[in-house]
Structure 1
Amino acid sequence: MEPDLFTAAAEQRQEQDPSSSPLAVRMRPRTLDEVVGQRHLLKPGSPLRRLVGGGTGPAGASSVILWGPPGIGKTTLAYVVSKATEKRFVELSAITSGVKEVRTVIDGARRAAGGYGKETVLFLDEIHRFSKAQQDSLLPAVENRWVTLIAATTENPYFSVISPLLSRSLLLTLESLTDEDLKGLLRRALTEERGLGSAVGLAEDAEAHLLRIAGGDARRALTALEAAAGAALDKGETEISLASVEETVDRAAVTYDRDGDQHYDVASALIKSIRGSDVDAALHYLARMIEAGEDPRFIARRLMISASEDIGLADPTALPTAVAAAQAVAMIGFPEAALTLSHATIALALAPKSNTATTAIGAALADVRAGLAGPVPAHLRDGHYKGAAKLGHAQGYVYPHDVPGAIAAQQYAPDAVHGKRYYEPTRYGAEARYADVVEKVRERLGRSGPAV
């Protein structure tokens, strides 16, 4: 028998005694209108609405790939689609399933369709973990519409899903749940009969802590709420306090306001600790931001800025490290993103430091803003159009590759800033090499004298 997500027996038991199921299960959306977040996918006339209404996506695609970070409702969307269309729902995980299991489900779908006219939704979680051959095994079922495939992935499908399957599917990008999305869900869970039925209230600071520890994950938020509600009711309390939440989830509340001073103060301390090469202090501030539920993309952006602002050419690998971290964070989200951010923070903190990229562009911008620009030297101007030669454009230009050392001694800067030195390298780390090179280059260019 196929591994249905919700068997008929389980659904019947839940209907008879809703309290027997976890709060996260009881609050699972029953229709698209109850889905939290993803407003861009739920607008009237959207492809997802058309699919639920019995239609198909663009170009007749009846299969869907859901791409987004963990814990934002990919499985829920698949289940809602199956319920709304009254189709069988079968779930497989690419971690534990292979071609054999896929073929078993497809054979079952064909029998169900032929025997009693029941179509099947196959939800395949983490499809990016399937090999090319395993993904190929899905193609006949998708092409012949023996199943409606809904595949979920946390990785970019253009890199992790084979082209034939991607071209036959509707790609939907899911967005992280916001605090407002989760806040609305928590308040519904507190008041609705299938939830906690107004048996207990929720203090404002307790709600804020629940949102932080949820990290954008609806299931985590509801699980923590249910545990805290149980603790409060056991003590005879009518309101969930911050202490009850801290007690049940075993995590202390961090003083941190993502819209206030704490947000900027801690972020500033993180960057200044990296700049000061104090790796332990940097990790402390990173941990505070993570624990408080800071957007990992915000942290990654700050690290990319630090890589150029404070390290630069002293360690040319710093920026690629920070960029790679930002890309990884966008793909995986918390909690795993904490490892990537730690990796980048340690690398940046321990890297040799140089702010010459910052001071160099700052000095150049200051001159431009002061009006020191001037015309581009005639021999550097574009000479590819008719009449350029008559204007003297590109005439006398020396092609550097035609001279020994590939450095042509000619004027490059406008007269107004000719002789200016914006870049003054340090002798730290890899930049020591640039310090030696720049002096030799300036000498070859005839600019070895003092700066103007």
Structure 2
Amino acid sequence: MQFKEGEIMQPFADRFRPSKIEDMVGQSHIIGENKVMNRIIQSGNIPNMIFYGPPGTGKTTLANIIANATGKKYVKLNAVNCGVKEIKEVIESSKRENLFSFNGIILMLDEIQALNRKQQQSLLEVIEEGSVTLIASTADNPYFVIYKAILSRSVVFEFKPIEKEDVVEGLKNCVEKLKDNKTYTIGNVEDEALEHIARISNGDMRTAINRLELAFNLGINIATGVVDITLQNVLDSSTAKSLSYDRKGDDGYSILSAFHKSLRGSDVDAALHYLARLIKAEDMQNITRRLLCVASEDVGLAVPNAVSITYACVSSALQLGFPEARLPLAQATIYLAQCPKSNSVIDAIEKAMYDVENSDIGDIPDHLKDAHYAGAEKLGRGVEYKYPHNYPNHWIEQQYLPGELNGKTYYTPGENKNEKAYDSYWKQVKENRKNKSY
């Protein structure tokens, strides 16, 4: 079977890119009838915008649709391989070539986070001149990577991973378009094949279409000109499931946040799910940091030896390496999720840190200062110090905090048997001392 030049060679993702907003799938929170993006396009008054979200969710497609709908010249650049000088040159060239044929320019700038702070500052000149509307895209959190002056002049829209059902719909749209030709015939298209593609594409429509293209190429019968898209073809052409994870990006931080919060919330199954994502990304450093942090921040004194057990699991994981490291990491995750919880440790240290950073903390009491040198006694250092082990229950009342903070309470025992037991013990010791009943 011979294909027409350009018909099959053009990648499906480009060939079937939607040209109208009605043809897009996903992002129902911003596109669709009476949604904000439709109203912006209908008004013709396009603001500077930041499109933020994972790859393959429609950012570039929507920018192109906006340009077409508003009669503006569409200029697409990638900040990874150009700087502000190149951006300005391309825009000036577009202005000269299309002086009377367009209503301004839409600059689609992919990966804007690749521009450093100084370059982003220079970019302000381009968008403030008036004839250029900036639509920048990034997979990173714009509030972390984009210069504030640009953010303040732009509207941020978050693009979310496309739901599986929407991915299936987009794939079916592609299949329908594949039927509009006379070179080949679309034969059997199995629903299971499209659903499997959607399931393993992790909300990335571009990845899904690329997988469809691979299955299409495997399904071509040269003799008959019939193309079957079957589950077996998809399985034969598929690599591992896509995983959206950037250790230094917003998605990576979100997975870590969900892992930590699931442990804190004692949801062992959710914690294991997010651990599996992190293991898949082989992010050993962040897994072990989170586990050790949870052991003190969220379990703390409710189970004082939790940090020791967690440390032992972490040490084992570091010695084993992946893939075996998943075993002690899972052990620590299950253990911490099931432990009783107390946040008294972090509450206490945060209160103490606040005073150190924001209050007049005063001087250390003289009787607590170092007295292990000649002349210390003359300075009054350590003179009135009372050695607790010389007293019943190894405790004697004396001032430990600086005078400005004397009487301040940082630690409040948690509502668990361990902290209650210690709290009860010390209350009894101090009461006995007060009543001299020892």
TM class by shorter chain equals 0.5 to 0.7
Instruction: Provide the residue aligned with 1:257 in structure 2.
Output: none
Q: What is the identity, as a one-letter code, of the residue corresponding to 1:27?
A: F
Unaligned runs of 5+ in 1: 1-14, 254-270, 276-281, 292-299, 319-341, 362-399, 414-419, 426-433
TM-score where L is the length of structure 2: 0.58
SS of the equivalent of 1:145 reads coil
Q: 1:24 & 1:136 partners in 2: Cα distance? A: 34
Pick the aligned partner of 2:83 from 95, 98, 114: 98
Q: 1:123 & 1:161 partners in 2: Cα distance? A: 15
Pick the aligned partner of 2:165 from 180, 184, 200: 180
Distance change (3 Å), C-alpha of 1:284 and 1:87:
closer
Whether 2:220 is the aligned partner of 1:226: answer: no
C-alpha deviation, 1:141, in angstroms: 2.1
SS of the equivalent of 1:184 reads helix
Q: What is the identity, as a one-letter code, of the residue corresponding to 1:312?
A: V
Q: 2:198 & 2:208 partners in 1: Cα distance? A: 7
Q: Deviations over 1:33-63 (max 9, x none)?
A: 1111112212445443244336225xxxx21
Distance change (3 Å), C-alpha of 1:244 and 1:70:
same
Q: 1:424 & 1:355 partners in 2: Cα distance? A: 18
Instruction: Provide the residue aligned with 1:202 in structure 2.
Output: 189
Q: What is the identity, as a one-letter code, of the residue corresponding to 1:56?
A: N
Q: 2:88 & 2:45 partners in 1: Cα distance? A: 24
Instruction: Provide the residue aligned with 2:276 in structure 1.
Output: 286
TM-score where L is the length of structure 1: 0.56
> Structure 1 vs Structure 2: percent identity of aligned residues?
25
Instruction: Provide the residue aligned with 2:359 in structure 1.
Output: none
Residues 347-362 of structure 1: matches in 2 within 5 Å? 349=331, 358=340
Instruction: Provide the residue aligned with 2:251 in structure 1.
Output: none
Q: Deviations over 1:102-157 (max 9, x none)?
A: 22123224434646555221111111221111111221221222211110012222
Instruction: Provide the residue aligned with 2:248 in structure 1.
Output: none
C-alpha deviation, 1:16, in angstroms: 8.8
SS of the equivalent of 2:162 reads coil
Instruction: Provide the residue aligned with 1:170 in structure 2.
Output: 155
Q: 2:80 & 2:62 partners in 1: Cα distance? A: 20
SS of the equivalent of 2:418 reads coil
Q: 1:154 & 1:248 partners in 2: Cα distance? A: 27
Structure 1 contact 126–153 (Cα < 8 Å) conserved? yes
Distance change (3 Å), C-alpha of 1:404 and 1:356:
farther
Instruction: Provide the residue aligned with 1:153 in structure 2.
Output: 138
Distance change (3 Å), C-alpha of 1:445 and 1:352:
farther
SS of the equivalent of 1:66 reads strand
Instruction: Provide the residue aligned with 1:423 in structure 2.
Output: 417
Whether 2:104 is the aligned partner of 1:119: answer: yes
Instruction: Provide the residue aligned with 1:369 in structure 2.
Output: none
SS of the equivalent of 1:21 reads coil
Pick the aligned partner of 2:42 from 50, 53, 76: 53
SS of the equivalent of 1:171 reads strand
Q: What is the identity, as a one-letter code, of the residue corresponding to 2:208?
A: A
Instruction: Provide the residue aligned with 1:215 in structure 2.
Output: 202
Distance change (3 Å), C-alpha of 1:33 and 1:284:
closer
Q: How many residues align?
A: 316
Q: 2:51 & 2:432 partners in 1: Cα distance? A: 58
Residues 6-405 of structure 1: matches in 2 within 5 Å? 18-53=7-42, 55-56=44-45, 62-112=47-97, 114=99, 116-117=101-102, 119-193=104-178, 199-234=186-221, 239-251=228-240, 286=276, 307=294, 312-313=299-300, 314-315=306-307, 349=331, 358=340
Q: What is the identity, as a one-letter code, of the residue corresponding to 1:423?
A: K
C-alpha deviation, 1:308, in angstroms: 6.8
Q: 2:202 & 2:28 partners in 1: Cα distance? A: 19
SS of the equivalent of 1:71 reads coil
Distance change (3 Å), C-alpha of 1:149 and 1:404:
closer
Instruction: Provide the residue aligned with 1:330 in structure 2.
Output: none
SS of the equivalent of 1:164 reads helix
Structure 1 contact 99–137 (Cα < 8 Å) conserved? yes
Q: What is the identity, as a one-letter code, of the residue corresponding to 1:92?
A: L
